Amino acid sequence: MSAQMKDKDAYQRLNFLYQAAHCVLSQNPENVELARFYCSTQKTIARRLVLRQDPSVKRTLCRKCCSLLVPGVTASCRQRRRSRNARFTVVRCLSCEHSKTLLNHPDHQLWTERPEAQQERPKQPDPGSSVKKTPREKKCDASASRKATPDQSAGAT
Amino acid sequence: MEDSLIRVGIPRDLVKVLGVEGDSKAGAFTRAFLNSHMRQDSRLDPRTLLTHKAVILDFCRPKKDKSKRKSKRAKGLNARQKRAMKVFHLKPEHQRYELFLPLHELWRQYVIDLCNGLTPTCSPQFVQQKLLKADFHGAILTVVRSKCPSYVGATGILVQEFKHIFKIITKEDKLKVIPKRNSVFAVEINGFVSHIYGSKFEHRASERSAKKFKARGTIDL
């Protein structure tokens, strides 16, 4: 219990830095440098304290230059096809030209969404009810919850 | 070119007639969007096309080596590339005080949330413990004491924190760089004033949450 309380401050700090980057970028869309500074600070803290961040958060940060990826402002978002039945979302950072490719598949599940990842509460496995992850950007005012417990569809049978 | 047509500003005498605001939030976003998306390919630039270049006569292109797959994972930039890109350099036109007021509001909520309520019954030691590991980006700092007398009295919103310096933005829209060594800062939250001794704070912003503070020596100012 004490270990969980010890990390609470760090998680709050990560959350604040993430929101601060969004806040700065919404005030002035060309102030990429400051948002990048906050995000790189966030990344360094998470690395020093070995904290796991949710994939939805990590998908909005550029891996190369640590800038915040907001589609249309600092990143371009495109749908590409590699093969006949696989489509990808390609998010490209406009400042360093690095792109990340995310698979669009309705049945694709990340590890954090799997029922066996939730150790806190024992869940009955319900196959076929997977939440489709869309890498859509949340607005600045929606505070991103930093805990690794994404909201599952609880009403599924 | 079409670019020049797009970026032409509306003449002064037409602004009042058309009722267009000159400096709105949507306008700023549109400008940023156009700037980032209208980048031309450097190969199609007419000036570079017209320069005299040696043509390499080669009967076929060398085959791409497929054995060497580039790893998908992005490597971070090294220090030289960061310096060339000016990763954390703030442009002077972005240094306006009123742009950072929302950041300060966000910071206040964060600190009050961190100290879970921050009622007057909170023990000062508990709050100080929390503030040691907290983030100070967006706080309003005041230099209370310093070895250099010209720093005393500088007030502003902290924008960036580095290992040895604080960068603050004052109300006169000036970016001030204040070294941490040999100066004392005051942070005010809801009537609770906390002093930060800069000589003890000489860590990076990210390392402060991981490192332990050692009580060593005294501060003589």
Token couple for A134: 């869309």
Whether A98 has a pLDDT exceeding 80, the answer reads: yes
CB B135 to CB A13 under 8 A? yes
Which residue has better confidence, A79 or B115?
A79
Q: What residues of A are in contact with residue B204 (Cβ under 8 Å)?
A: 44
CB B77 to CB A96 under 8 A? yes
Interface residue ranges in chain B relative to chain A, Cβ cutoff 8 Å: 28-29, 31-33, 35-37, 73-77, 85-91, 94, 99-100, 102-103, 106-107, 110, 113-114, 130, 133-135, 137-138, 159-160, 204-207, 209-210
Side-by-side strand order, sheet with A99-104: A75-81, A87-93, A99-104
**Of the candidates B29, B76, B91, which has its C-beta nearest A64's C-beta?**
B76
SS3 A61: strand
Query: Mind telling me how many Å the CA of A129 is from chain B's nearest CA?
Result: 30
Which residues pair with residue A63 across a beta bridge?
none
Query: Mind telling me how many Å the CA of A56 is from chain B's nearest CA?
Result: 17
**pLDDT single digits (tens) B75-97:** 666 777 777 666 566 666 666 78
C-beta of residue B159 within 8 angstroms of C-beta of residue B135: no
Q: What DSSP character marks residue B44? A: G
Query: Mind telling me how many Å the CA of B179 is from chain A's nearest CA?
Result: 19
- Of B127, B128, B196, B126, nearest to B158 by C-alpha is B196
- Of B109, B166, B84, B82, nearest to A67 by C-alpha is B82
Classify residue B37 by burial, with Cβ atoms within 10 Å: 0-12, 13-18, 19+.
exposed
Residue of B86, B126, B137, B208 to mutate, interface with A, max A Cβ within 10 Å: B137
Residue A42's pLDDT band, with cuts at 50, 70 and 90, is very high
- Angle among Cα A10, B79, A54 to the nearest 5 degrees reads 30
Whether A138 has a pLDDT exceeding 60, the answer reads: no
The pLDDT assigned to A90 comes to 92
What is the average pLDDT score of chain A? 73
CB of A98 within 8 Å of a chain B CB? The answer is yes
